[in-house]
Each structure stands twice: as C-alpha cells, then as structure tokens.
Structure 1
C-alpha cells in the first residue's frame, strides 16, 4: 500500500477518527487505503512495474487524498472532492506519459527509468523466429517462391 492510517492521521488529523466513528466496520480505514492503492495501480500499472521499489512522496499524498475521499462515503466536501479529482487527473497524466512519478531506488537513490514494461512487439525483418509451431527448421523445409 502507498499510505498507512498513520499517514492519513498525520495529514488530516482527527478528521479520520471522526469518519471512522461513524461506521461500525473496524477495517474501514484500511479498506479505503486498499481501494486507493488499487485505483492508483490501475492508472500506473501499464507504465511502471508493480510493486514499486520505493513510494515517492507525491504518490503517498495522492493515496491519502483518494483514501480520504473514499472515507467520505456519504457526502464529501468540495475540498475533499477537489483533492481527489486532482489526484486522479495527475494519475491519468502519468498513464498518458505526460507526467512522471520520479521513483528512486532505495539504496542508490537512482531515478527508476519509467519506460513501458516489456510488451510483445513485432520483430525486425531478418530476425529468426525461434519458437512456436513453425521454427526455422520447419520453415526451411517449405518450398520458396
């Protein structure tokens, strides 16, 4: 997860406790944080390998904003809704490769290259196909044109 209950309390104070008192579910806050994590992963999962090696502070802030919005299950305030919408808009920009998360490796503090994950692509002309039903050996037995 990108945030904890302690992160929410540090950012929003007693507001989190007040929201939790209104619900009988003891895992209410953890569920909201998990929902926020899954929403974030849905946006950045095509671009970054998950789980992330290190959580940048801006992602932790967005996770808190999204979780807080989820905690307001009945009527979020305008400020809560605006922070949620801003977080989602930024995540969409990350997904569209118009913004970056600046994830640093824990030991070296090197910024992780956020190139798209390895996806299947077409092979350049002249490359030998080495797998599947029709390998080079089988193709060499076929008549040429």
Structure 2
C-alpha cells in the first residue's frame, strides 16, 4: 500500500476520524479506502513499473492519501477533495501515457529506477539492417523481395 491511516491523519487530521464514523464498517473504512486507492494507482502505473514498487515516492503517497480521502466521502465530497482526487488521477494518466515520471529511487543505490514498459518487446526501427537470428544473411539474400 502506498499510504497508511497515520499518513491520512497526518495530512487531514480530525477529518479522517469524522469520515470513518460515517461508515457502517467504521473499523475497516480507512483500510478499505487505502486499498481502493492502491488498486486504482496500480491500474495506472502497472504498465510502466514493476509492482510492487521498491520505494514509494512522496508524491505517490500524497496521491494515495488524496484518493483514499475521496473514497471515504461516500456522499458529496467537498470541491477541494474532488479537485485533489481529479488532479491525482490526471497525473496518474500522464504517468501511464509516459508523459510524467514517478522518480522512484532504488533503496540500495539511490538511483532512479528505469521505467521502461514491462512485458513489451523491443522493436527495431524500420529501415535498420537485419542483425541475425533464425536464418543467416546468406539465407535471407536468397529470398525474393517485394518491389
């Protein structure tokens, strides 16, 4: 998970306790909201980053808190709560589209983790030379060409 109940309380104070009391399952309401936020975030970043992340960057923790807070409002959220949720989702969409980066640091080396898409083959640009494989160049030279 990207946030904890303590993170929510540190950011939003007494509001979290008040929201928790409004739910029928007050004992699990915050954990459920955090789990929902985590799953929503993973849906956006899972195509670019190997999950689970080695470290949680502070901006991702903040977004998880904003999303969880929004989820705790089961009735009408305030305009500020809705806007923070929409801003978080907008950023996550940019991450998913490779227009923004999470800046995740490796715990050991403190280097930024590469965010190359996983499970996607590398491709060669059109017009590059054949670099070998199942058939050698001599075999491929015997094949007819399309003109």
| Pairwise TM-score range, normalised by the shorter structure | 0.7 to 0.9
Q: How many residues align?
A: 133
The within-5 A match list for 1:1-145 is 1-25=1-25, 26-120=27-121, 125=130, 127-129=132-134
Deviation digits for residues 30-83 of structure 1, max 9, x if unmatched?
000000000000000001111000000000000000000000011100000000
SS in 2 for 1:87: helix
Query: Cα RMSD between the aligned structures?
Result: 1.8
- Provide the TM-score with structure 1 as the length reference: 0.84
Cα offsets for 1:84-120 (capped at 9, x unmatched): 0000000001111111100001122111011111423
Q: 1:98 to 1:122 in 2, by over 3 A?
A: closer
Instruction: Give the distance between the partners of 2:69 and 2:5, measured in 1 at CA.
Output: 10
- Report the CA distance between 1:125 and its aligned residue: 4.0
TM-superposed deviation, 1:122: 5.8
Query: Which consecutive aligned stretches of 4+ in structure 1 deviate over 6 angstroms post-superposition?
Result: none
- Residue ranges of structure 2 left out of the alignment (5+ in a row): none
Change in 2 beyond 3 A, CA 1:112/1:122:
closer
Distance 1:106 1:29 in 2: 28
Q: Distance in 2 between matches of 1:42 and 1:107?
A: 26
In the aligned structure 2, how far is the partner of 1:128 from the partner of 1:103?
A: 36
Deviation at 1:128, TM superposition (A): 2.8
